[in-house]
Amino acid sequence: MALGTLTRVGSVTHGTVNLTGTLANSGQTMLFNDVTGSWILQGGTVSGGTLAATIGRALVVSGGTLAGVTLDNSGGNASPLDLTVINGGTATIKGDLLLHNVVVHLGQSTGFQFGQLNFSSAGSQVLDAVPGSTGTIDLGLSGNNGISFNGSVTGDQFIIGAAITVQGTAGFISTSSSFRLDNKGTITADPTILGTSAGTVSISGGSNWLNEGTI
């Protein structure tokens, strides 16, 4: 579906928007604000474009797909994609994921709420920052937090860009054995970042994986 102007009746507490179809967003910025409220990605797809949010608003992930999407902090919320609210929320990524001074929190720093980014079945893919910016993935307390990659054919690779930091307490970065991880960024297991007890961050890089960054 392609949206023109969204008008809510009453306040943003008067209902929930569940995205179950396809939002055609190529060349556009979808801003979640006090007019739209937060939406829930509930099995749907955001195709192209940029997602941004004001403080207190976001695209909350239950499950669904981001296809060629950029996450941006221009709305005032540095975390326009929320993978902390719904336990087990998973965003499937196709066509790369770009961050513009954005932090993606996977799970929470308390309890065992977890979230995942699944780069899946779309050939080689990149998790990177928009040129001139940075991006951060925060891993919460649960070991089920994670970033996974499954390519389309043997030899496909998953690249973590140089301006990306994956940090926090517990979770995983996993690439299936037929594919390869190429880390150019920074991966840090440090529970003091989120103020939690110690955990484990595991890396399974597939076949002949490369570290060109910092671990």
133 falls in which pLDDT band (50, 70, 90)?
A: very high
- pLDDT > 80? residue 6: no
At 122 the pLDDT is: 82
Cα angle 5, 7, 9; round to 5: 170
- pLDDT at res. 26: 97
- Kindly state the average pLDDT of the residues 1-13: 51
Please give the single-letter amino acid code of residue 179: F
- Catalogue the long-range contacts made by 41-44 (C-beta closer than 8 Å, 24 or more residues apart): 41/91, 42/18, 44/18, 44/19, 44/20
What is the residue-wise DSSP string for 179-195?
A: SEEEE-SEEEE-GGGTT
Q: Say if 1 falls within a structural domain.
A: no
Considering the domain boundaries, does residue 5 fall inside one?
no
Task: Give the Å distances, CA to CA, from 8 to 3, 82, 107, 210.
Answer: 13, 22, 30, 49
Does residue 49 lie within any of the structural domains?
yes
Instruction: Give the rounded percent of residues in the chain with a pLDDT score beyond 70.
Output: 93
- Give me the residues paired with residue 201 across strands: 171
What does the pLDDT read at residue 56? Answer: 96
In this structure, is residue 172 part of a structural domain?
A: yes
Mean pLDDT, the chain, integer: 92
CA distances from 14 to 55, 95, 181 (A): 19, 35, 45
Q: Is 6 contained in some domain?
A: no
Domain count, the chain: 1
Q: Answer whether residue 12 shows pLDDT above 90.
A: no
Q: What is the pLDDT of residue 176?
A: 86
In a domain, 50, yes or no: yes
Average pLDDT of span 9-37: 86
CA distances from 196 to 14, 19, 106, 147 (A): 36, 33, 14, 20
Containing structural domain, residue 25:
18-211
Say whether pLDDT at 155 is over 70.
yes
Q: Which residue has the tokens 């440090």?
A: 190
Q: What's the whole-model pTM score?
A: 0.92
Residues 62-90 pLDDT 10s: 999 999 999 999 999 999 999 999 999 99
Is position 12 within any domain?
A: no
Is 156 among the domain residues?
A: yes
C-alpha torsion angle, residues 197, 139, 129, 1 (rounded to 10): -150
